[in-house]
Amino acid sequence: MERPAHHSRVLVWDLPTRVFHWCLLISFSAAWLTAENDRFLYHHVFAGYSFFGLLIFRLLWGMIGTYYARFRSFSYDWPSVTAYLKGLITGQASRHLGHNPAGSWAIFAMLAMGLLISITGLLVLGGEEGHGPLKSIVSFEVGNVSKELHESLASLMLLVVALHLIGVIVESFIHKENLIWAMLSGNKPAGLANISVRTYPLIAVLMLALLSGAALVYFYGYITQTEEQPFLAFKHDSLPTNTTWSSECGDCHLAFHPTLLPARSWRRILDEQTDHFGDDLFLETEVLEEIRDFLIQNAAESGLTEAGHKINASVPKNTTPIRISETVYWKKKHEDIAERYWQSKKVGSKANCNACHLDASEGWFEDSNMKLPKL
């Protein structure tokens, strides 16, 4: 820490704090923009991990960082906030070199909400999608509830971000200084307490190197993928398989993974093997039994995949669909697919899952592994 006696500008925001601020903005925006479309789940998760990592850095930096970045330097009580807000109205709000009282509360609110968003995000990822550090700990139901929380918190976060922005603009006008520029350059005109902080460029470079390195490793598959071997996002353990099932069912059509229909549906399909959508399968008893056991053991009820889970939940208990495309969940997920795709030669049939789902034969049906063919 140095005290520049004659300098008119002081360094308020060290480089790591600035890198944190703008990277957090980018990762939150990226997460927001990739949230709506399931196909970008893999990207959304990366944005989320970066967001979480940055927040953890900020928590540390708030304790061991430079003066204005430390939580102690901007922990104001509520009366200070109301006094400051009243001052804004009367035009007598005092200028703060670091965060002002109202701004500081917004910072703490965003930090707290950011952490909650990260944690609920990990719960959704673990529970619903079966990925991430919490995958074997969190149930599907907890994941499902967390999703609602995750979304509401993110909207709330956006609201606080808006307040933060309004605050920045208002204060920039009142004190006639460009606070956005200050977060870029780090400098502010010297005030009463003109403490100038150190830059810490190495830490900032390390942060950027870590983020870009992680991005490269995470997305490397998309760089090296080919038309014949597209990258499959979210590698995970193989689902159960059975050679009799894959050869007998796979002879005529994609061997639909057992997780895609409830057990009662598979029973019905095999019981009706003499009229299998118009054809007689002529399966021998022992072959039929082996396939039946495999299908029932790994049916939708097993909860092995997100798709299976949701299909099963969408099928009324008193119905026994024999087509996956008859289930409510399937219909809902495919309602936006234009008719021309179904009619195209590349798809042709609703049973041709692997025309769009790159991992259909594996049975995963990951959101990120869906790609409409070019027509």
Partner 1 sequence: MNHKVIVGIILSFFFSFAQASVIDNMLQQYTAEGGKNFSAARGEQMWKTDYPDRDKPGAVRNCSTCHGDDLKIPGKHAKTGKTIDPFSVKVNSERFTDPKFIEKWFKRNCKWVLNRVCTSQEKGDFLMYLRNQ
Concatenate the DSSP letters of all residues of 327-348 into one string: SHHHHHHHTTS-HHHHHSTTT-
Label residues 363-373 b or e (16+ Cβ within 10 Å = b): bbbbbbbbeee
188: closest CA among 2, 7, 333, 371? Answer: 7
The CB-of-297 to partner 1 minimum distance in angstroms stands at 24
Nearer residue to partner 1 within complex by CB, 78 or 282: 282
The partner residues of 2 in beta bridges, in order of sequence, read: 196
The yes or no reply on residue 91 touching partner 1 (CB under 8 A) is no
Nearer residue to partner 1 within complex by CB, 117 or 281: 281
Q: Quickly tell me which residue has 């707290």 as its tokens.
A: 112
Stretch in the footprint of partner 1 (CB under 8 A) among 234-242, 281-289, 320-328, 332-340: 281-289
The yes or no reply on residue 289 touching partner 1 (CB under 8 A) is no
Q: How far is the C-alpha of 192 from the C-alpha of 98, rounded, in Å?
A: 11
The yes or no reply on residue 288 touching partner 1 (CB under 8 A) is no
Binder of partner 1 out of 59, 348, 373, 375 (CB under 8 A): 348
The yes or no reply on residue 281 touching partner 1 (CB under 8 A) is yes
The CB-of-318 to partner 1 minimum distance in angstroms stands at 29
Q: Give me the amino acid identity at 234.
A: F
Which pairs with CB-CB distance under 8 Å and at least 24 residues apart come from 135-140? 140/303, 140/306, 140/309
Nearer residue to partner 1 within complex by CB, 55 or 281: 281
Nearer residue to partner 1 within complex by CB, 77 or 279: 279
Stretch in the footprint of partner 1 (CB under 8 A) among 148-156, 216-224, 321-329, 343-351: 343-351
Residues in 227-256 at the binding interface with partner 1, rule: CB under 8 A? 251-254
The yes or no reply on residue 285 touching partner 1 (CB under 8 A) is no
The partner residues of 69 in beta bridges, in order of sequence, read: none
Structure tokens at 292: 């039946």
Residues in contact with partner 1, counted by CB under 8 A, come to a total of 16
Q: How far is the C-alpha of 221 from the C-alpha of 87, rounded, in Å?
A: 55
Q: By the criterion CB under 8 A, which residues form the site for partner 1? A: 251-254, 277-284, 348-349, 351-352
